[in-house]
Amino acid sequence: MKLNVAELETPIGPILTIAGADGLCALGFGREPRGIRRWLERRFGEFDLSPVASLPRITAPLEAYFAGDLGALDRIEVDTGGTEFQQEVWKRLRKVRVGTTVAYGELARVIGRPAATRAVAAANAHNPVAIVVPCHRVIAADGSLWGYGGGIERKRWLLRHEGALGTLI
């Protein structure tokens, strides 16, 4: 499996984007994000990672998002892999509108699994394409921020950027 990797400088630090023929399959914060290689090995087995200057179908919409075009993320095709349940959660997460948030329990109810709050939280934690599958829009039932692999300060920045932070604790 051949995968391409491009680095993007953003207001929240460098981001690595990794894509195959079917779309973005991993996004990580930093230049050497933890866990990405393990995630890719579990998903693809052997793979070749080829550095490229840019992945226009991915980096251009991300750049537009950070420049203020908040709907630009919808233009990015994703290839997340994951279990059927994870894919269901991630697909629904992409429907959470910019400028809004959802609680873990509410998300579980929306997908028809009201008792699966912890499973939804676990799926959220294993999201391989943060920001694009907007797991930063998921908050605790009391409105507080917690549980973001990129760090709470990045989550806070993203929610502020999207105009959703004013109502949060």
65 burial via Cβ count (<10 Å: 0-12, 13-18, 19+): buried
| 150, amino acid identity | G
pLDDT of residue 169: 40
Full-model pTM: 0.92
What is the rounded average pLDDT of the residues 76-104? Answer: 96
| CB neighbours of residue 11 within 10 Å | 10
The boundaries of every CATH 3.30.160.70 domain in the chain are 2-75
**Residue 38 vs residues 2, 41, 101: alpha-carbon distances, Å:** 16, 5, 30
**CATH number assigned to the domain covering 2-75:** 3.30.160.70
CATH fold for domain 84-167: Arc Repressor Mutant, subunit A (1.10.10)
pLDDT band at 162 (very low <50, low <70, confident <90, very high): very high
Of the listed 135, 145, 158, 164, which one is catalytic? 135
Long-range CB contacts for residues 155-160, cutoff 8 Å, separation at least 24: 157/11, 157/12, 158/12, 158/131, 158/134, 159/101
Residue range 101-158, pLDDT digits in tens: 999 999 999 999 999 999 999 999 999 999 999 999 999 888 888 778 889 999 999 9
Q: How many CB atoms lie within 10 A of CB 104?
A: 22
Q: How many CB atoms lie within 10 A of CB 164?
A: 19
Taking only the tens place, the pLDDT of each residue in 39-71 is 899 999 999 999 999 899 999 999 999 999 999
Q: What distance in Å separates the CA atoms of residue 109 and residue 79, rounded to the nearest whole number?
A: 25
For helices 84-93 and 117-125, the axis angle rounded to 10 degrees is 80
Is residue 25 annotated as part of the catalytic site, yes or no?
A: no
Which stretches of the chain are DSSP H helices? 36-44, 56-66, 84-93, 104-110, 117-125, 152-162
3 state SS of 67 = coil
